[in-house]
Chains A and B, each alone.
Chain A
């Protein structure tokens, strides 16, 4: 019983962070029909941001979210304005290849500048986990979970309640109709790409104290990210949240009740089954 509860807790905690990475990818896809293969690298940049914030400025990684979120937003908006905007009319395949190139460029620049060394963030207050009812809850993961829930909740409100949020959703649902309704789709796209990048960056900052970081960590994350987004349905924000938590749970229970070696395999098996039988996601809300 305790094992099951522990698996549940670990799964949900990790899943919330997966969800946040997934949401960033899915909004970008929804609005621009861009599958951003460089999304994992944006997470990686967030992780390094947290690391250097602490090492050089003594900034607590969780506090540094307020710095890195706007920085990553600006970086994303710039990438869209200067690099992506010209490629988008070329079609989905072109943007896919373009972001793949961007991903390689960023990862290899990072390898060059920061070397392939593995780094970890040590927070003195986070050495030992909390143990409510004998269930281990690692402190950095618990804080990250809290912030991820807040950010995702805020995003939800933003998309549902504000004009700009509605414009993002309208563009996502039907870009042509959005233009006819007087929405500046270009601006919305720039904003959305910034938003997606900021979400990835913040997820990276939050993950950094729980994982270790190295320039090619994005490769692992982007693959997980696709599983999440496909599980939930491409383009669907609630789908990505559910998909993230589901993947966290599948990995956690899979490692405990099947085998560690099969942990990732089970996730991908689920991915293939969903693609085969429910191509628009488990909830059928995605754009196939």
Chain B
């Protein structure tokens, strides 16, 4: 009898009134393996946001908690850990993912298990163009990525390429971006003199670069989802002696601190067309940069801003959602609340809507402000500085590249 009472007490304890419980947010990220540096960036960004929100009293009195699960940048594992977070981890809402291949898997799981998923960084168009009503995305899609570059070559006099070589990894991300960039270039009558896909984590790009050099492109566009590929592509291109008017990188690897660290002088003047147009001179962005650097000792970039903003978007929705303690109902309440999101984060304005992308994909719950979020930056003495669009430029662009 006594045992039964104890059991009853235990049951009561686990189903405590909702107010006392923390709200769990699930985030599959690569915490080990080649992509671990990215997982770590997001972990830090989430922690900062969660600490701030909890210190300010949490969401309607309840604390937030982000549960990270390691998917090692493996697509199949991403699906497994997403399912684990939702069914065993009892998370209310999901975010994270890191790369498109993994996010596509997570999105499918979330759609099937009716759990809202706010995509913070993965960019393949596919994720928000499958008509998944449980999937939301704050950051721009892959086909929007090259928008700033497209504007640069259209708006800067004499910058329109005479020819272009496009090299990309054979992942969802690589193909999406390459396809978007090439579609635009072809529409402007620019001949694509080399169009080559490579497997992720290639050890030797020199033969590929020999081929590209023979085509002597006016612009050299490189797409890499992995940092090591971004670094090796640039190194081998310059070793073999490809001399375009501009080297343009697309993908996270071209924007990380390791890029200039590993390449030294070879990184100089390489363009990076990225997904976030934050102007560091904006007071909100500046405050975030200072806060982040004080806590972690390094300057944040696109990834940290995305992760940090995602938590604030989720917190905003949670604040407006009527939570009952029934997980299924609450997940739908959060989804409804996300649909009504209309706010500004460090990343920029966010409001989810359905519209058509640059390649004609029908987006669902994609941030309607995304097309304004793309930026072209350039490496200068180890620093990545925004150069286009002009209103967000931190410095003047160097073009043509004379390195």
Contact = CB atoms under 8 A, between A and B. Distances in A.
A174 interface: no
Contacts, number: 95
A185 B241 CA distance: 52
B192 interface: no
A263 B227 CA distance: 22
A252 B207 contact: yes
Given A3-B213, A127-B264, A129-B239, A118 B34 contact: yes
A115 B228 contact: no
B241 A122 contact: no
Contacts of B201: 118
Interface in A146-205: none
A122 B259 CA distance: 12
Interface in B250-275: 262, 264-266
A41 interface: no
Given A117-B34, A128-B239, A136-B239, A260 B198 contact: yes
Q: Which of A3, A115, A255, A257 has the most CB of B within 10 A?
A: A255
B206 interface: yes
A120 B262 contact: yes
Contacts of B286: none
Q: Which of B72, B170, B239, B241 has the most CB of A within 10 A?
A: B239
Contacts of B203: 211-212, 217, 220
Contacts of B208: 255-256, 260
Contacts of A2: 214
Interface in B362-382: none
Contacts of A211: 203-204
B232 interface: yes
A257 B207 CA distance: 9
Interface in A205-264: 211-212, 214, 217, 220, 251-257, 259-261, 263
Contacts of B210: 3, 6-7, 10, 252, 255-256
A14 interface: yes
Given A131-B241, A261-B170, A122 B262 contact: yes
B204 A14 contact: yes
A248 to B, nearest CB: 10
Contact of A136 (B198, B199, B241): B241
Nearest to B198: A260
Interface in B153-212: 170, 196-199, 201-204, 206-208, 210-211
Contact of B206 (A10, A214, A259): A10
Interface residues of A, number: 37
A91 interface: no
Nearest to B30: A116
A212 B34 CA distance: 11
B354 interface: no
A70 interface: no
Contacts of B338: none
Contacts of A253: 207
B398 interface: no
Nearest to A212: B228
Interface size band for B: 20 to 34
Interface in A126-149: 127-129, 131, 134, 136, 138
Interface string A68-99: 00000000000000000000000000000000
Interface string A1-15: 011001100110010
Q: Which of B210, B228, B231 has the most CB of A within 10 A?
A: B210
B241 A260 contact: no
Q: Which of B34, B170, B265 has the most CB of A within 10 A?
A: B34
B70 to A, nearest CB: 11
A120 B204 contact: no
Contacts of A128: 238-239, 265-266
Contacts of B34: 116-118, 214
A254 B170 CA distance: 18
A11 B238 CA distance: 18
B21 interface: no
Interface of A: 2-3, 6-7, 10-11, 14, 115-118, 120, 122, 124, 127-129, 131, 134, 136, 138, 211-212, 214, 217, 220, 251-257, 259-261, 263
Given A10-B206, A260-B208, A261-B170, 14 more contacts: A3-B213, A3-B214, A115-B32, A120-B228, A127-B264, A129-B239, A136-B240, A212-B228, A212-B232, A220-B203, A252-B207, A256-B210, A261-B197, A261-B199
7 contacts: A14-B204, A128-B239, A129-B239, A129-B240, A134-B241, A212-B232, A260-B198
